[in-house]
């Protein structure tokens, strides 16, 4: 099915309520809603402030926000240029399978290409059916890499060791 004429756009401050709503839906799907602590003011600062931490895109159908992607640029020591990391990709259930997710990732890819990024990276849960979609678009699993995450208790414990060397 063809995309409507209003497909993918850079998000604006006016899109923040929709971005928050879609992020909450995505986290609920991942059984991770408990980690959503960002307010609309946090989104305003982090996506549209003086030092943006990430870029947000919205997919629109008939003028309504029905999808989103968020991503950031990352540098790697010893590598020339940057890479892009996709944090979120979400399309409302009634609009899936129509090309909106592909269009969102294509916009990320166009931005990455314009900046000569070395690659685009994303994480996906091993049970997520979107893995086939990502593979179809050319993403591949890097089997020698594993994702490790330190949650807040571990961060606090590790930070308490700052500048302490075992004798």
Where are the chain's structural domains? 8-159
Average pLDDT over residues 55-81: 92
**Which of 53-57, 64-68, 75-79, 159-163 is least confident?**
75-79
Query: H-helix or E-strand containing 55?
Result: strand 55-61
CATH number of 8-159: 3.40.630.30
Query: 82 phi and psi, to 5 degrees?
Result: -125, 175
Q: Which has more pLDDT, 165 or 22?
A: 22
Q: What percent of the chain has pLDDT over 90?
A: 68
pLDDT band at 100 (very low <50, low <70, confident <90, very high): very high
Q: Beta strand 82-91 with 55-61: parallel, antiparallel or unpaired? A: unpaired
pLDDT single digits (tens) 44-64: 999 999 999 999 999 999 999
pLDDT band at 90 (very low <50, low <70, confident <90, very high): very high
Q: 3-state SS string over 61-125? A: ECCEEEEEEEEEEEECCCCCCEEEEEEEEEECHHHCCCCHHHHHHHHHHHHHHHCCCCCEEECCC
């Amino acid at each position: 099915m063809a995309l409507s004429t209003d497909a993918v756009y850079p998000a604006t401050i006016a899109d923040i309520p929709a971005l928050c709503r879609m992020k909450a839906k995505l986290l609920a799907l991942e059984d991770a809603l408990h980690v959503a602590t960002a307010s609309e003011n946090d989104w305003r600062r982090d996506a549209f402030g003086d030092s943006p931490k990430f870029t947000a895109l919205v997919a629109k159908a008939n003028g309504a926000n029905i999808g989103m992607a968020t991503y950031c640029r990352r540098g790697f020591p010893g590598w020339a240029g940057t890479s892009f990391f996709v944090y979120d990709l979400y399309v409302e259930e009634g609009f899936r399978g129509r090309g909106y997710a592909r269009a969102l990732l294509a916009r990320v890819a166009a931005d990455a290409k314009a900046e000569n990024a070395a690659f685009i990276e994303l994480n996906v849960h091993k049970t997520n059916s979107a893995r086939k979609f990502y593979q179809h678009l050319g993403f591949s699993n890097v089997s020698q890499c594993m994702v490790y995450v330190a949650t807040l208790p571990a961060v606090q414990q590790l930070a308490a060791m700052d500048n302490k060397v075992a004798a």
